[in-house]
Each structure stands twice: as C-alpha cells, then as structure tokens.
Structure 1
Amino acid sequence: MKYLIVGLGNIGPEYADTRHNIGFMVLDEMAKQENAKFYNMRLAYYAEMTHKARALYLIKPTTYMNLSGKAVSYWMQQLKVPVENVLVIVDDIALPFGTLRLKPKGSAAGHNGLRHIEATLGHSNYARLRFGVGDDFPKGKQVNYVLDAFNKDEQPALPELIDRSIEMIKSFAAVGAELTMTRYNNK
C-alpha cells in the first residue's frame, strides 16, 4: 500500500518556522525520526519511509503554497497513489492553536494551498490534517499572521504537537481516516 503525505509550506529561509510552514515542519521532524532524507526532486522535496508494511512518500512542494496542486497531482500520478491514500498537512486559522483535526475531505476554507490542490485535482476528496494556528490577528492582517513565526508562548508546545501530528499520519496509513479521527480528533 502506498501513501502520499504532503506537508504544505513555502520554500526559502524567510518562511522557515512560520505558521504557514507547519506542514514542512511536521514532515521534517518525521523524516528525522525515521532517518529518512529529503531530496530535491521534481516540484518537491521528496523522502520515503515505511510504516507497518506501508510505503509512505513524503513531499514538501517547492511550488510555493499557491501552486501546491501541481506537486500533489504530479506525485500522485508518478507514484500511482490513489486519492484515498493522500494526506495533506496544513495550517488552519479556524482552529485554536494546538488543535489537530484529521478530516477525510472538506473545503479549502480560504486556504490557498488547499484551493489550488482542489482546483488541480478537480475535487476536494482527499484527507487533510488541519493543524490549528489560531486567529490572533487584526482584521485584514491574516497574511502577516500566517507568514510570521510561532510566538514565544506557542513555541514550547510545538514539539509535542508535531509528534502528535506524526502519530496521526502513521495512524492514517495504518488504520485509515475514520479510526484515526475517532482515536485522535477529540483529544
């Protein structure tokens, strides 16, 4: 069984460790824990690992957030991964900081990365792990907020939240979206 795990973010040092790059941060830590290495491949940084006899292909699109669908579509076709085995890790301002929610499908909810994936695939029937970053910003300042680093009150909680996200990714690959939602979403 093959799984495509997509961490959304933007490339470049100016975006490292920002709220919008939580997808990259989760996959970087996952690769580190599994001794997997990312390689700069077509449209994405790419790494592979196995979990419970399943192949997990990790990608961090190099297309920038607003064109994420190009990388997702390319790697789905290249690796022949069915859409039900795709999981996208994404920041979500609609969820309070630290809330993690796995959903089997859903709307883009104003997120440009998800919007482009949806437009490229022609549907929104792919799973996503929504990582709550909160909405502590003045009206009209959403872009500044998501492109800013986690604040000093949030940073101590990040390692545990990233580890929990990794557990959820592995659970998704091992037992599927429904059981993972039951096990993790209400915690």
Structure 2
Amino acid sequence: MKFLVVGLGNPGSEYANTRHNIGFDILDLLVKNAEAFFSSQRYGDVANFKVRGKQAYFLKPNTYMNLSGKAVNYWMQQEHIPLENVLVLTDDIALPPGTIRIRLKGSDGGHNGLKSINEVLNTTNYARLRFGVGNDFLKGQQADYVLSKWPAEQQEMIQKKIELATEAVRSFIAIGPAFTMNRFNTQE
C-alpha cells in the first residue's frame, strides 16, 4: 500500500518559511526526522520512506501553487497511488494560526493550489491537512499576508504546531484517517 503526501508551497528561497509554504515546512521537518532526504525529480522534490511498513512518497511540487495538480496527478499515476491514500498539506486563512484540521474532502476555499488539484483530478474527494495561518490582513492584502513570514511572537508556537502536523501525517499513513481526525482535529 502506497501513500502520497503533498506539501503545497512555492519553490524559491523568497518563499521559504512563509505562511503559504507551510506544507513545505511540514514535509521538511517530517523528512528530516525520518533521516531521509529529498531529491529533485519530475515536477518537484520527492522523498520516500516507510511509515510503519507502508511506503510513502512526500512531494514538494516545483510547479508553483497554481499548477500543483499537474505534479499530484503525475506522482499518483507514476506510483499507482489511489486517491484515498493522498494527503495534501495546505495553509488555510479560515483557521486561526497553528490550528490543524484534517478533512477527507472539501472546497478549495479560494486556495489556488487546491483549485489546481481539484481541476486536474476532477474531484474534491481527497484528504487534506489544513494548517491555520489566520486572516489578520486588510481587504486586498491577502496575497501579501500569506506570502509573508510568521511574526516573531508566533514562531515558537508555529514550530510546535508543525511538529504536531508531522505526527498527524504519520498517523494518517500508519493508522488511517478516522483515528487521525479524532485525535488531531480536537487539539488546539
């Protein structure tokens, strides 16, 4: 049984550690903790290792956010990974900073990465881990907000929540979505 975990973000050092790249940050810590590494592959950086005996692929698309679906579809086809074994890690302005929510389906919520995945896969029925980034911005300032770095006073809390998110990813693979949702959706 194979799994694909996709961290949404934009490639390039100018986007590193921004709210919009939280998916990359979660995967970076997860792969580091597993003593694995990413290699540059088609449509992104990919790491793979087993989580409790289950083969998992971890993808950071290099397609930019609005073309993420192309990378997701390619790796699903390449490794024969069924939709129910896909987990997408994304930032969410509708949730307070650091809040983690796992859902098995849902709308794109205006997120261009999810919009691309929905269009390419022609479905919204795939799991996603939504990581709250808050919405403390003025009208018309959303892009600047999500592309900015976390404020200093939030960084320690965000780092702890990134660690919690890595546990949720491992749980999703090892134990399954129902248990993972029960455990992690209730934590604040």
Equivalent residue runs for 1:69-84 within 5 Å: 69-84=69-84
- Superposed displacement of residue 158, structure 1: 2.1
Q: Secondary structure at the match of 2:153?
A: coil
Tell me what 1:151 maps to. Answer: 151
User: In the comparison of the two structures, how many residue pairs are matched?
Assistant: 187
Instruction: Give the ranges of 4+ consecutive aligned residues of structure 1 lying more than 2 Å apart after TM superposition.
Output: none
Identity percentage over the alignment? 52
Residues 129-156 of structure 1, C-alpha deviations (whole Å, 9 max, x = no match): 0000000001110000000001112111
Matched, 1:162 2:142: no
Q: Distance in 2 between matches of 1:111 and 1:25?
A: 18
Tell me what 1:63 maps to. Answer: 63
Tell me what 1:86 maps to. Answer: 86
Q: Distance in 1 between matches of 2:180 and 2:119?
A: 27
Residues 10-52 of structure 1, C-alpha deviations (whole Å, 9 max, x = no match): 0001000000000000001111100111011000100001111
Equivalent residue runs for 1:173-184 within 5 Å: 173-184=173-184
Gaps of 5+ in 2: none
Tell me what 2:49 maps to. Answer: 49
CA contact (8 A) 2:97 2:158 kept: no
Q: Distance in 2 between matches of 1:71 and 1:51?
A: 22
Gaps of 5+ in 1: none
Matched, 1:126 2:107: no
Q: CA RMSD in A?
A: 0.6
Q: Distance in 2 between matches of 1:84 and 1:153?
A: 37
Residues 92-124 of structure 1, C-alpha deviations (whole Å, 9 max, x = no match): 000000100000111101000000000000001
**Could you state the TM-score of these two structures normalised by the residue count of structure 2?**
0.98
- Superposed displacement of residue 174, structure 1: 1.4
